[in-house]
Amino acid sequence: MTRRLPRFGGVRLRATAAAVLTVAVALGLASVVLLMVLQDNLEKSARAEAAEKARAVAAAVKVAGSLPEPPGVPAVTRDVNVTTALEGPTWKTGSGYVVAGEKVDAQGKTVTIQGRSSLAPTRQAIATLRHLLLPGVPALLLLVALLTWTAVGRALKPVSAIRGKMADITAHDLDQRVPEPDSRDEIAALARTVNATLDRLQVAVEQHKRFVADAAHELRSPLAVLRTRLELTAYRTEAPAVPAQALVDVDRIQTLTADLLLLARLDAGEPPRDQEVDLGQVAAEEAAQSRPRPDVTVTLDIAADVLVRGSADQLRRLVANLVDNAVRHATTTVMVRVRADGSHAVLEVADDGPGIPQEQREIVFDRFTRLDEARDRDRGGSGLGLAIARDIAVAHHGALSVATTPEPGACLRAVLPAGPADASRR
């Protein structure tokens, strides 16, 4: 199947969004605090200016003992009912200005002298700051987003390289290793951990392969010797029934052993040979083999030049397993079809038997699974035939399933890529 590498857009997007949101909240709070502090300080400055004006006039009144009327002096209000002495400044805020008052005794009466300062400079400064913050904050957030996106992308670049290398490593080429970045960070530690895991996996796979090879040798050799001795005994004895039954059992053991070894190789992910195979010719040759049920007729409907890429032996085993399964369940006829369908080759093996129930169309591909009819018809079946057939189809980048057809019986359909193998699928 085609391996598509992720672009880490989700991680970059989430990191960028988190950074922008954090900075936005911080800038928002900072802007509000800045506006409040600046406005308070400017208003304090205006009040101080107004108070200074009032204190200057009050000092002059104390020295002169009368009320002067110089130009520009704030208006003076006389409160004849108040006779208290100087009590410090009093404040009032009007529209666009602040007023500071100083109470002083003049000519035996308490007089309040007011000084006024405009708030126009304060409001102008606040407005200017707001005009700067409104475009400045979004521009700063955009800059933060761009820098975060770039920085996270560079940080994840080694991860993308590690991911790409891991996608190319299979059980057939476990000698490869992921690149280790020069940085001494978590990504470099991840690469070292992955390589250490691959080292252990390579050792385990090599031990498994050696075990499979040793098991094949240890099982095949004594079984072959036992079969030879039983065949000789069957020819020499006057009652060959027992040796004949033993030969049947040995044959089943050999078949089961070969099935298990093939499954072990398929499970190990060993890729099939890359050669051009005429699927129609393979199907015709396997369909012509003798089967335990001579009463079942195997017919062919094979198109010419249906070529696939893969292992001829494994594809032959695929066809043989499907035909054997169909013959086992057929009533009188098995049909083998091979045709081209666009960029795929299609192999169909149909029988006129009882068919496969809808709820069991996936179960039949499980290992060591046999339906009741199969157990009655062939008690020596191991239940591995269809499982091996599907694994072979998957190893050739294809699929095997139970097809729905209007005819009675069961139809198993294998779909394989036709023509040269796609290098991107390996």
Structure tokens at 326: 């169909």
pLDDT band at 283 (very low <50, low <70, confident <90, very high): very high
80-94, 187-201, 276-290: lowest mean pLDDT where? 80-94
- Give the helix ranges, DSSP H, for 292-395: 312-329, 372-377, 385-395
- Looking at residue 175, its pLDDT comes to 80
In order, the DSSP letters of 386-410 are HHHHHHHHHHTT-EEEEEP-SSSS-
Residues 361, 407: contact at Cβ < 8 Å?
no
Given a cut of 90, whether residue 307 has pLDDT beyond it is: yes
Q: What is the pLDDT of residues 370-422, one digit of tens each?
A: 655 444 444 445 678 888 899 899 989 999 999 988 888 899 999 999 875 44
Considering only CA atoms, which of 353, 404, 363 is closest in space to residue 383? 363
Looking at the chain, the number of H-run helices and the number of E-run strands are: 8, 11
pLDDT at 52: 83
170-195 confidence digits (pLDDT tens): 656 778 888 888 877 888 888 889 88
Residue 269's pLDDT band, with cuts at 50, 70 and 90, is: low
Query: What value does the mean pLDDT take over residues 320-324?
Result: 91
Name the nearest CA neighbour of 345 among 422, 270, 277: 277
Tally of CA atoms within 13 A in the half-sphere of 124 that contains its CB: 4
Helix (H, G, I), strand (E, B) or coil at 73: coil
Q: Is pLDDT at 89 greater than 50 in this prediction?
A: no
Quick one: pLDDT at residue 243? 64
Distance CA 387, CA 247 (A): 26
Give yes or no for a contact between 390 and 322, defined as CB atoms under 8 angstroms apart. no
Beta bridge partners of 213: none
pLDDT at 371: 58
Closest CA to 384 of 220, 261, 227: 261
Does 226 score more than 80 pLDDT?
A: no
Q: Tokens in use for 197?
A: 């895991």
Contact 103, 87 (CB under 8 A): yes
pLDDT greater at residue 215 or residue 47: 47
Q: What is the pTM of this model?
A: 0.50
In the prediction, which pLDDT does 64 show? 64
From CA 376, how far away is CA 292, in angstroms rounded? 14
Q: Where are the beta strands (DSSP E) in 85-165?
A: 89-94, 97-106, 109-118
pLDDT tens per residue, range 337-369: 999 998 999 999 999 988 888 888 888 888 776
What's the mean per-residue pLDDT of the chain?
A: 77
- Bigger pLDDT: 39 vs 245: 39
